[in-house]
Amino acid sequence: MQKENFIKEREAVAVRLKELRIKAGYTSYETFAIENGLPRKNYWRLEKGENFTINTLIRILKIHGISLGDFFKGM
């Protein structure tokens, strides 16, 4: 079986994370990362659609106060 990259799916997650950050009042990904104790470079990678772990996603969603179900609703 060929390994899939799921590029479109990762890009959709990246867009949604950026939307949440902006909705929370953060115009800068760096400020969001620093103020929430996240590695700045790692968070930047998430918003660019790079691969991530589910633990990282859950951590960020907890910061925003939303569930996985709410995050993926409508995607």
Q: At residue 2, does pLDDT exceed 80?
A: no
CB 50 within 8 A of CB 11: no
Count other Cβ atoms within 10 Å, centred on residue 7.
Answer: 9
Which amino acid, residue 9? Answer: E
Residue positions counted in the chain:
75
Q: Which residues contact 35 (CB under 8 A, 6 or more apart)?
A: 26
Distance CA 72, CA 75 (A): 5
- pTM (two decimals): 0.88
Count other Cβ atoms within 10 Å, centred on residue 49.
Answer: 18
4-22 residue pLDDT tens: 778 899 999 999 999 999 9
What is the average pLDDT value for the chain, to the nearest integer?
92
